[in-house]
Amino acid sequence: MRIGLMTSGGDCPGLNAVIRGAVLHGIKSYDHEFVGFRDGWRGVVEGDIMELPRQSVRGLARQGGTILGTSRTNPFDGPNGGPENIAKVLERHHIDAVVAIGGEGTLAGAKRLADAGLPVVGVPKTIDNDLQATDYTFGFDTAVSIATDAMDRLRTTGESHHRCMVAEVMGRHVGWIALHSGMAAGAHAILIPEFRVHMEQVAEWVREVHDRGRSPLVVVAEGFIPDDRKEAIAGKGTEASGRPRLGGIGEFVTKEIEHITGIETRNTILGHIQRGGAPTGFDRVLATRLGIGAVTMATEKQWGKMCALRGTDLVRVDFSKALDGLKVVPQDRYDEAKVLFGR
Ligand code: F6P
């Protein structure tokens, strides 16, 4: 069997470990051959491929980014897009299966192609951890570790200057990174898209912490919308498309805290640092296992499914289940974090 691997959407620590796991398992267990499509669906649509022999994956587990490159190309756009053209590309390059490694957008494209009869299986990927039908996505643990380390550092400089420190983390639609890194670092307020909070309330938590001689740490996910400032942040926290703008909300929250409390406040946007560099051990293992699982699925022609993590087990789930809405932070998880807030 000749299998084509592709990585699509925002990059994520662990992508290379998936590629390595897939190639090693496929070659050693089944004598498969591997190619990689360059830059996500663009490479699939244009037939832009590279051979992936065994030596090409040596040492890849610890390497950040993706050796295949990535893009946000839609496989249905343009004159070469769509299932019929892609089927021709696969035929021309003698490719029997495609392993699509990506988040919601990528898997939605993969589903449409599988529904049209193409041999596609999936591997879930996102640092945001917002995909349904999998307990964790690789990249999330790395992002949380990076953010936690950054917050520990913010706390020491904040304490020295008696300042309030605000850290903006990624999380366009969900607040998993903010919740976990905020809990790990002992944040005094965690602001996430799932739950509206008034800025007056945030200011009160900050004041309470400051009053007992500590330096308040506020973590805000990029998609957070303050309950009482919806209009005020329009155009500041979001791009014209309505998508949150990195840095917009952190800046806004920082200014509001300073304005309401009078406490000197500084903003730090962690941005793409959260997606860069080497994956953690947990993410390397999870990504390697998913690569292995996806190749087994392709060998068994389990098209239209993705390999996922349930508990500690790998399971196979239909693309439709994975795409059944975003996995948001539930109320009880947010309530647990609230024990850290304010006083
Ligand atoms: O991978 C998802 C994500 O990390 C979001 O949290 C964030 O909004 C987005 O990627 C940023 O993506 P880009 O690299 O396209 O700016």
132 annotated among ligand-binding-site residues: no
Question: Which of the four pLDDT bands, split at 50, 70 and 90, describes residue 233?
Answer: low
Go through the chain and tell me how many residues it has: 343
Q: 127: Cβ below 6 Å to ligand 1?
A: yes
What is the whole-number distance in angstroms between the Cα of residue 55 and the centre of ligand 1?
31
Residue 269 among known ligand-binding residues = no
Question: 72 a known binding residue?
Answer: yes
> What band does 228 get if pLDDT is binned at 50, 70 and 90?
confident
Give residue 80's pLDDT band: very low, low, confident or very high (50, 70, 90). confident
ipTM of the complex in this document: 0.93
Which contiguous run of DSSP H or E holds residue 125?
none
For atom 15 of ligand 1, the residue with the nearest CA is: 10
Q: Dihedral sign for Cα 44, 98, 108, 129, please.
A: negative
Residue 219 makes CB contacts below 8 A (sequence gap 6+) with 147, 151, 166, 167, 169, 178, 181, 182, 185, 187, 189, 190, 191
Q: How far is the CA of 7 from the centre of ligand 1 (A)?
A: 15
73: Cβ below 6 Å to ligand 1?
Answer: no
From the list 11, 39, 48, 128, the catalytic residue is 128
Ligand 1, atom 1: nearest CA belongs to which residue?
10
Q: Verify whether residue 128 is a known catalytic residue.
A: yes
Q: What percent of the chain has pLDDT above 90?
A: 92
Q: Rounded mean pLDDT of 85-112?
A: 97
Distance CA 99, CA 82 (A): 17
Was 163 annotated as part of a binding site?
A: yes
The three-point CA angle 133-136-141 to 5° equals: 165
The residues near 278 (Cβ < 8 Å, ≥ 6 apart) are 13, 62, 63, 64, 142
pLDDT at 241: 55
CB of 128 within 6 A of ligand 1: the answer is yes
Model pLDDT, residue 248: 86
Confidence of residue 177 (pLDDT cuts 50, 70, 90): very high
Find out whether the beta carbon of 126 lies less than 6 Å from any atom of ligand 1.
yes
Partnered with residue 61 across adjacent β-strands are none
User: What is the sign of the dihedral through the CA atoms of 151, 157, 158 and 160?
Assistant: positive
pLDDT higher than 90, residue 145: yes
Q: What's the whole-number mean pLDDT along residues 62-70? A: 97
155 annotated as belonging to a binding site for a ligand: no
The predicted model scores a pTM of: 0.94
Contact 227, 176 (CB under 8 A): no
The pLDDT of residue 232 is 56
Looking from the CA of residue 9, the nearest atom of ligand 1 is 1
Output the furthest CA–CA distance in the chain (Å, rounded).
69
* Nearest atom (ligand 1) to Cα of 139: 1
The whole-number pLDDT of residue 227 equals 84
Which residue shows structure tokens 């400089």? 157
Confirm or reject: Cβ of 102 under 6 Å from ligand 1: no
- List pLDDT tens digits, range 246-262: 668 999 999 999 999 99
Give distance in angstroms: CA of 103 to centre of ligand 1.
11
Tell whether the model's pLDDT for residue 238 goes beyond 70.
no
* CATH numbers and ranges of domains, the chain: 2-138+279-322 (3.40.50.450), 141-276 (3.40.50.460)
Q: Find, among 166, 164, 154, 160, the residue nearest to 207 by Cα.
A: 164
pLDDT on residue 343? 79
Atom of ligand 1 nearest to the CA of 222: 8
The answer to whether the CB of 83 falls within 8 A of the CB of 113 is yes
The model's confidence at residue 56, banded by pLDDT at 50, 70 and 90, is: very high
Question: Alpha-carbon distance 243 to 235, whole Å?
Answer: 10
The closest-lying atom of ligand 1 relative to the alpha carbon of residue 272 is: 14
For ligand 1, atom 12, the nearest C-alpha belongs to 10
Mean pLDDT, rounded, for 111-136: 96
pLDDT score at 245? 61
pLDDT for 260 equals: 97
Least reliable range by pLDDT among 88-92, 220-224, 231-235 = 231-235
Ligand 1 contacts CB of residue 105 (under 6 A): no
Query: What are the CA-CA distances from residue 272 to residues 11, 143, 256 (Å)?
Result: 10, 10, 25
Closest CA to 132 of 338, 286, 327: 327
Average pLDDT over residues 48-68: 97
Identify the pLDDT of residue 229. Answer: 64
The two three-digit tokens of residue 52, written as one number: 């992936």
